[in-house]
Amino acid sequence: MEVGAAAAAEKKKKSKKRKGQGEVSIHNEQNGKRSQIEGEYEGPSTISIAVAGSIIDNCQSLELATRLAGQIARAATIFRIDEVIVFDDKENTGVTSDVSIWDDEGESGALFLARILHHLETPQYLRRALIPKHNILRYVGLLPPLDAPHHARKHEWVPYREGVTLDRKPPAGVGTFVDVGLLKPVYIQQTIEPGLRVTVAMGSNKSLGTDCVRQAVKHSEPREKKGLYWGYTVRYAYNISNVFNESPYKSGYDYSIGTSEHGDIIRSSDLVIPKFRHLLIAFGGLAGLEENVEEDQNLKGKGVRQLFDCYLNTCPNQGSRTIRTEEATFISLQYFQDPIQRATCT
């Protein structure tokens, strides 16, 4: 499978018109496979990054595209990103609100990137149960693992583990067995349908028998209570305006930063980010955020500096004519480390 121009020629076109502002969302699809223990986020401040899907179109093969996606996933994990939004910056992608995220119809660079990110975030022992086989995943084995705290090993006893609920009859018909990647499944007190991803509080009792009843908790609890980085969620957005419009946070993003070589030049030590609840940092496609905003029909008459609270060049005096987005992600997230730390400590 080729990605980019070669793959575009093989895309299936759908005749349906897109319905309203509904969008295919890996975040929502993943939550559809999660038990509904979630609520309005009330934990520590979050950091989201938005990445244009067109960066995939520059890759000459599926293997190179997969490696690029792996770099974005590594950057998100290393810098403790809570949410990765992949937005389409190509018109007429063929994607509609009712297409499955794993459907070959309406294939786009953004969907490809979102799928790889979703696969890598899922702990290895859960992938067989939660992620369908798909042709685009055939090179993911070449990628370095994220090795995030929620990717626990078999011999580790950690405060929380990710698991998948099993179709196995519980004692007295109450509770649920969950595969959390140990030698035996654990038993939780909630009754939850099979095939859902859950976060399980493991406690200190290392017994795996049914006499030790555990609890499924909110996915955000490991971070809220223990300060553990517990992976990122992945969200697909139809365009850049829906990055903002479809925010999973009730109040949206209260501070947003765009990155571009045309942005303002401020030293990291001089940059002041106000105290925030939900921070968004955006990276443009091959032609930059300026073109992404210009081509979005919902943003007619609005400039890129009007869309973001801050518009920055995080790598001035560059020696190369271009900085690739996967490079800019690492550069920028390091650049923002101290300003974010100062903002969250105020």
Domain boundary residue, one of 192, 218, 244:
218
Contact 322, 271 (CB under 8 A): no
- Is 154 contained in some domain? no
pLDDT confidence of residue 108: 84
pLDDT of 18 above 80: no
pLDDT confidence of residue 28: 40
pLDDT confidence of residue 27: 37
Whether 213 and 316 map to the same domain: the answer is: no
Whether 23 and 127 map to the same domain: the answer is: yes
Whether 258 and 331 map to the same domain: the answer is: yes
Whether 18 and 142 map to the same domain: the answer is: yes
Which phi and psi (to 5°) does residue 50 adopt?
-115, 130
- Is 16 contained in some domain? yes
Average pLDDT value for residue range 44-49: 94
Tokens describing residue 260? 């571009």
Cα distance between residue 218 and residue 307, in whole Å: 32
Mean pLDDT computed over every residue of the chain: 85
- Is 224 contained in some domain? no
Whether 55 and 85 map to the same domain: the answer is: yes
**Position 40 confidence tier, pLDDT thresholds 50, 70, 90:** low
**Range name among 64-73, 103-112, 212-221, 225-234 with the lowest pLDDT average:** 103-112
**Position 91 confidence tier, pLDDT thresholds 50, 70, 90:** low
Average pLDDT value for residue range 325-331: 95
pLDDT confidence of residue 170: 85
Q: Which residue type, as a one-letter code, is found at position 263?
A: G
Domain boundary residue, one of 172, 197, 218:
218
Whether 144 and 168 map to the same domain: the answer is: no
- Kindly report the CATH number assigned to the domain that includes residue 266: 3.40.1280.10
pLDDT of 293 above 50: yes
Domain boundary residue, one of 171, 195, 218:
218
- Is 225 contained in some domain? no
Average pLDDT value for residue range 123-149: 94
pLDDT confidence of residue 146: 97
- Is 238 contained in some domain? yes
Whether 25 and 79 map to the same domain: the answer is: yes
User: Whole-prediction pTM value?
Assistant: 0.86
Annotate 33-68 with three-state secondary structure. Answer: CECCCCCCCCCCCEEEEEEEHHHHHHCCCHHHHHHH
Whether 95 and 181 map to the same domain: the answer is: no
β-bridge partners, 49: 84, 281
- Is 290 contained in some domain? yes
DSSP one-letter string for 244-301? HHT-SSTT--SEEEEEEEEEE---GGG--PPP-SEEEEEE--TTHHHHHHHH-GGGTT
Query: DSSP state, 145?
Result: P
**Range name among 91-105, 236-250, 262-276 with the lowest pLDDT average:** 91-105
**Position 36 confidence tier, pLDDT thresholds 50, 70, 90:** low
Cα distance between residue 330 and residue 77, in whole Å: 11
Whether 20 and 136 map to the same domain: the answer is: yes
Tokens describing residue 274? 């106000």
Please state the domain count of the chain.
2
- Is 172 contained in some domain? yes
Question: In the chain, pLDDT over 70 holds for what percent of residues?
Answer: 83
Whether 50 and 118 map to the same domain: the answer is: yes
Question: In the chain, pLDDT over 90 holds for what percent of residues?
Answer: 68
pLDDT confidence of residue 346: 62
pLDDT confidence of residue 39: 54
**Range name among 64-68, 274-278, 297-301 with the lowest pLDDT average:** 297-301
**Position 103 confidence tier, pLDDT thresholds 50, 70, 90:** low
pLDDT confidence of residue 132: 87
pLDDT confidence of residue 172: 78
Whether 17 and 165 map to the same domain: the answer is: no
**Position 104 confidence tier, pLDDT thresholds 50, 70, 90:** low
- Choose among 56, 77, 52: nearest CA to 5: 56
3-state secondary structure of 240: helix
Whether 270 and 144 map to the same domain: the answer is: yes
- Kindly report the CATH number assigned to the domain that includes residue 166: 2.40.50.140
Residue-range definition of the domain harbouring residue 21: 5-148+231-345
- Is 262 contained in some domain? yes
**Range name among 106-110, 219-223, 239-243 with the lowest pLDDT average:** 106-110
pLDDT confidence of residue 321: 87
